[in-house]
Amino acid sequence: MSSPVAEPLDRYEDLLVRQLCGVLSTYLEASQVNDCVRAYQFGATAHAGQFRKTGEPYICHPVSVAISLAEMRMDANGIMAAILHDVIEDTPVSKKDLSIAFSKEVADLVDGVTKLSKIGSKTQAEAQAENVRKMFLAMGKDLRVIMVKLADRLHNMQTLGIMPPQKKRRIARETLDIYAPIANRLGMSNIRHKLETLSFEAMYPFRYRVLQSSVKKARGNRSKIVSTIEASIKSRLAQAELDCEVSGREKNLYSIYQKMLHKKVSLSEVFDVYAFRIFSNSIDNCYRILGIIHNMYKPIPGRFKDYIALPKANGYQSLHTIVIGPYGTPIEVQIRTHDMHRMAESGIAAHWLYKSDDDKSSKFQARANEWLRDLLEIQQSAGDSLEFIENLKIDLFPQEVFVFTPKGKIIKMPRGATVVDFAYAVHTDVGNACVSARIDKQLVPLQTKLENGVTIEVITTQWARPNPLWLNYVTTAKARSSIRNYLKHFKQQEAIILGRRLLDKELQAMHLHLDAIGQTRIDALLKILSLKTFDELLEDIGLGNKMPFLIAKYLTQDDINAHIKLDDMSQTQKTPLIIKGTEGMVITLAKCCRPIPGDSIIGFFNPGKGIVVHDHECRNRSVIRKKHASWLDVEWCPNVTGDFAVDLRIEILNQRGSLATIASTISEQDANIENVTVVDQDDRVSVDLITLTVKNRVHLAKIMRRLKDLSIVLKITRAKA
C-alpha cells in the first residue's frame, strides 16, 4: 500500500491535485502540504481501477471534497481524512492500515465518515439511519467528521447528473431531510443553500428550470428599482458618516419555491420583496443604521427581528426588518457586522477559516458542541436508529421562542414547546421530577405552550416520575427521548422486582429461599434458557414470559438439565401474591371489571406486559382463562391505600339537575368522578355509566347506599364487564 502511483496522471485528475496543492499552500506549511500529497498517493493506489459513473477515476471525488474543505482552510489532518474518506468502505484498506500509514487521528476521522455495511435484512431506511447515527457519534468526538461528510455530500450532489431519476430523487430527499438542516444547524448557510438548490433541481427538474427562467426574466425588470433603492440607502448612510457596504441580496431558488408552496402565492408576490444586506464594522453602528432605515422608510409592525441580542440556535446574528419602500414595494433589510456575515456564511467552518481573528468563532463552537452533546444524549437513549432519526428531524427544524429561567438566563426553545420541554432543557433530572410550573408567577399545567419572553419556574418533587401521556404533547427531541428512556428502564426495573417476588413466593412454598439457591445452579439455568444475566430471567418472569412455578422447579430439581414442559401448570401456588395496587406498569387492574380492595381477585399473565388482575366475578374471566393457561392466585394487601376506579350503572329520572345531584352526592362521600357516559336515554329515564374512584369495597357500598336514598335514582348496580 505504500508505493505511490507510477502511471501518468489523468489530465483532469492532475488538474484537481494541482488546484488542491495551490489552495493548501496559501495557509499550510510545506511539510503539511507534502503529507496531503502523500495521502492523495495512498488514496489513488487504494482506489486504482475504480471509476465513477461519470467515467473519471474514483480518486477525483475525494480530491474534489478536499478542495472544498481547503477553501474553508481545514487543517492538514482534516484534508487527509477527506482524501481518504472512502478507502475503508470501498477498498481493502482497514482503519489499522490508516493508523500505521498516517495517524490515529486521521484514521478516526475516516472511520467516522465511513458508512456501516448493510447488515442482514435491514431496510434501506434502517441502514441510512444507522449511518447517520454513527456519524453523529463520531461528530461528538470531532466536528471535522461532519465537515468532511457535508463536503462529500455536496460533491455527490454536484455530480448526480447521470444517475437514474428515482435514485436522484432519493438522494435529494435524504439531503433535504438530513444534510441541509445539519448545515443550517451548524450555521453553514453557504453549503446549505448549495445543497438545497441542487436537491431541488434533482427532485423537480422541470419546476427548477421554469422557476430559474422566470427569476432570470424578473431580475432584468427589477434591476433599475434595486439600483435606485441601493443608491438612496448608500447616500443616506454616507450623510450620517457611517462606513458600511450595501448590496442587493439574491434569494435562493429553493427558498423562493418553498415560500410559493407554503404561502400559496405566485412568483410575482414572492419576488415583489426587494432584499438588501448592509455590512457595518461594529454592533453599535448596526443599530444606528436600523434607525436610519426606519426613518427613510416606514417599518411594517411585527416584522422586526433582533438576532444580535438573541442569536439563533445555530449562532446566526443579524438585524432583520421589513419596510415599505418607494412605489409601495416591501423592502427586506438585513444589517450585520462583517464578522457576523462571515459566521453566517461559514458557521462552524469559521473556526478554521477565521482562526486568526482572536478566535471569534469560539462562542459559536461552544453552541455547536452543546447541541452535539444533547444529540449524543438523545442517541444513547433512543430505542433504535429510526427513532434517533425521528428525534433528529424534530431538532433540525426549530422555530425558536426565547424564555427565561427565574435567574434570568435565556433558553431557546422550538415554537410549540411546552413546560415539560423546558424542564428537560434545563436538566434531565428536572424533567423527570417536574409536577407543575409557574409562568410569570402564575401556576400553569405541564402541557402549557411557551411564549416569547416569559419567565418559567419548574416545580419538582422527589416522588414524581415521567408520565407516558407527556409524549402526546412534548415537541423537543431531548424531552421525547428522555421520557421514553425513563419509562423503558422504569418498567424493566418494576418487572425485575415483581419477578423476584413471584419466584421467591414459589420457592417459599417449597420451603426454600432465593438466597439459598447456589450461583452454579442459577448459571446452569441461564445457560439452558440462553439468558445472560439473572436480572433478565427475573424480568421475563415479571413480564409473564416465563412462569415462576416452572423456574422454581428448574432451580430445585436434582437434575438441572432435566426437561420440563414450559406449559406444565399442573401444580399451582399455595400462597397468593399480595397486591398493593401501586406496583405500576407490570401489575395492572383490568378495565373490564375494575377490581377494588375487598374484591376476590385472580391474576393472569399477559406475556410481555406482566400481570393483569381481574375480579373473580368478571364476566370475561372464563374467556381469559381459556386463552391464558398462565394464571395465579392473588390477594389484596390488608392495609392497601390509594384510589381505585370503579364503574356504576345508574338509572335516574331524566329531569333538570339530576346529574348535578348525583355528582354532588358522590363528592360529599369523598370520591371523585372520572367519567360519565350516557348509555341510554328517553323522555323519562336516563341510563348513565359513571366511573368514579373509591378507597375500597366498603367505601363503594357507602356511596351506593347514599345514592339509593335519592328519589331520582331508580336503580344502581356495579358494572363488571
Quick one: angle between helices 189-203 and 165-174, nearest 10?
150
Phi, psi of 633 (to 5 degrees): -75, 135
C-alpha to C-alpha distance for 619 and 595, rounded to whole angstroms: 12
Classify residue 390 by its DSSP letter.
H
3-state class (DSSP) for residue 623: helix
201 is catalytic: no
296 SS3 class: helix
* Calpha distance 401→417 (Å, rounded): 9
Indicate which residue of 10, 71, 75, 89 is catalytic: 89
Place of cell 489523468: 10
**Backbone φ, ψ for residue 647 (5° rounding):** -105, 130
Query: Between the CA of residue 471 and those of 115, 479, 721, what are the distances in Å?
Result: 32, 8, 30
Strand 685-694 versus strand 644-653 pairing type: antiparallel
**How far apart (Å, rounded) are the C-alpha atoms in residues 396 and 177?**
9
- DSSP E strand boundaries for 120-236: none
| Residue 590 backbone phi and psi in degrees, to 5 | -60, 135
**What is the rounded CA–CA span in Å between residue 462 and residue 60?**
60
Question: Which residue among 10, 71, 75, 90 is the active-site one?
Answer: 90
The residue written with cell numbers 423537543 in the block is 476
CB 281 within 8 A of CB 243: yes
> Is 90 in the active site?
yes
Q: Rg of the chain's alpha carbons, rounded to an integer?
A: 34
Distance between CA 378 and CA 298 in Å, rounded?
46
Instruction: Identify the residue whose cell numbers are 416465563.
Output: 546
Cell for 285?
453602528
User: Given its phi and psi angles, is residue 231 left (phi above 0), alpha (psi -120 to 50 degrees) or beta?
Assistant: alpha
Identify the three-state secondary structure at position 73. Answer: coil
**Which is it for the CA torsion 144, 146, 149, 151, positive or negative?**
negative
CA–CA separation, 509 and 605 (whole Å): 20
**What are the residues facing 449 on neighbouring strands?**
418
CB half-sphere exposure, 677, CA atoms < 13 A? 8
Question: How far is the CA of 526 from the CAs of 279, 494, 554, in angstroms?
Answer: 70, 20, 11
Please give the Cα distance from 543 to 496 (Å, whole number).
Answer: 9
Q: How far is CA 429 from CA 218, 476, 661, in A?
A: 55, 16, 44
Q: Give yes or no for a contact between 365 and 187, defined as CB atoms under 8 angstroms apart.
A: no
**Cα-based distances in Å from 372 to 137, 496, 622:** 9, 34, 55
b vs e for 580-619, b when ≥16 Cβ sit within 10 Å of the residue's Cβ? ebebebbbebbebbbbbbbbebbbbbbeebbbbbbbeebe
Strand 434-439 with 442-444, pairing: antiparallel
Do 716 and 679 form a contact (C-beta atoms < 8 A)?
Answer: no
Which of 61, 96, 58, 100 is CA-nearest to residue 82? 61
- C-alpha 134/C-alpha 136 separation (Å) is 5
Cell 460533491, located at residue: 155
Instruction: Find out whether 714 and 651 touch, Cβ atoms under 8 Å.
Output: yes
Bridge partners, residue 694, by sequence: 644
Query: Can you tell me the distance from the alpha carbon of 643 to that of 682, in angstroms, rounded to the nearest whole number?
Result: 33
Catalytic residues: 89-90
